[in-house]
Amino acid sequence: MAYLFPPMAEEPPRDYVDFVAGHLDALRRDAARLVDGDPYATQLPGEVLADVAGHWRRLRWWSRLRRDDAAAEFLARRLVSRTKEWREERLSPVEVCPVPQPGAVPPLPPAVGRAPGCGGVTTASATRPVSVAQGLAPLLGSTVRAGARPVAEAGIAWVHAYQRYCRRRVGRLAAAVVLIVSGIVQLMSHWSTTAT
């Protein structure tokens, strides 16, 4: 079937993966700086890369036309925009301190780990690992491959962008069906009033 605008590919193109590999470290650094080390800093680069992936074909076309890197400019704009949305939605931080219950496990001695900022209430998890795997983790070597992170980030961002594309496509199709059916109903009602 011939398309006026071809559908989005299910797999990321090689130039998108190369783009992510070239910008991922700087994007992660900027995200951590913009959100002040909040845990959201780990999600922000993926969301921004998904935004870029959703507009990738248009950005590549625009880059060829203007002879500059439109994708990098869009990436910077989306990072600022997503950070601004995060700041507006963020609640003020609340410090939660555990309060010991009567009859509970007695607290650890004062020399063992204390929860920061909680008035000296000790935490049992500060001294022992939660599981055997966490206890053995420092003994094992890293399983992270050097070049796999950009490919994985690009693939995940592309999948999120593709899912958004599919939802929008279904929404456009549903809107078109509603418009066609309402047009047919209007036309039929107009013909029925003129025929009588």
- Angle in degrees, 0-180, between the axes of helices 44-54 and 14-34, rounded to the nearest 10: 140
**Nearest partner of 6 among 180, 165, 151, judged by Cα:** 165
Strand partners, 114: 122
Helix (H) or strand (E) holding 171: helix 148-195
Per-residue pLDDT of 80-133, as tens digits, reads 898 888 888 776 655 555 565 666 555 555 544 444 555 544 444 445 556 776
Q: How many CB atoms lie within 10 A of CB 150?
A: 19
| Confidence bin at 173 (pLDDT 50/70/90) | very high
With 60 as the cut, is the pLDDT of residue 154 above it?
A: yes
DSSP-based helix, strand, coil % in the chain, nearest 5: 65, 0, 35
Q: Give yes or no for residue 145 having a pLDDT over 60.
A: no
In this structure, are residues 107 and 58 in contact, taking their beta carbons and an 8 Å threshold?
A: no
Task: Let me know: does 115 contact 123? Beta carbons within 8 Å.
Answer: yes
